């Protein structure tokens, strides 16, 4: 882990690069790749999402089921990837 000021600088430079160079089709490809990475991590690390998306094509993002806050809170212990329990997180 980098010291906070250095990490902040790296994040700023990355943000400036994305803002300056990602337009049109490049931006579309960047977003699609970012969503694919997030979905892959969610399925790998969360049993909840692994079950929710089982048998579905993760490339078809618009066809994936969504969850609302009530469902998220109900499945919190199963959904989170940090091993936290809802009672502990809310304390």
The answer to whether the beta carbons of residues 21 and 27 sit under 8 Å apart is no
| C-alpha span between 22 and 44 (Å, rounded) | 28
81 neighbors 46 (Cβ within 8 angstroms): yes
User: Can you read off the two tokens belonging to residue 52?
Assistant: 């929710």
> pTM to 2 decimals?
0.69
What are the residue ranges of helices labelled H in 2-85?
Answer: 4-21, 24-45, 47-52, 69-74, 76-79
For the stretch 55-86, pLDDT in tens is 999 989 999 999 999 999 999 988 888 888 99
DSSP structure class, residue 61: G
pLDDT digits (tens, 9 = 90+) for 4-22: 788 889 999 988 888 888 8
Q: Which helix (H) or strand (E) element contains residue 88?
A: helix 86-90
Contacts of 57 (CB under 8 A, 6+ apart): 63
């Amino acid at each position: 882990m980098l010291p906070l000021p250095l990490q902040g600088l790296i994040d700023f430079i990355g943000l400036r690069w994305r803002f300056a160079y990602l337009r049109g089709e490049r931006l579309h490809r960047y977003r699609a790749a970012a969503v694919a990475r997030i979905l892959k991590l969610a399925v790998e690390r969360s049993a909840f999402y692994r079950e929710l998306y089982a048998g579905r094509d993760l490339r078809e993002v618009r066809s994936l089921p969504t969850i609302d806050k009530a469902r998220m809170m109900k499945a919190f212990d199963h959904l989170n990837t940090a091993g936290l329990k809802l009672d502990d997180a809310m304390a």
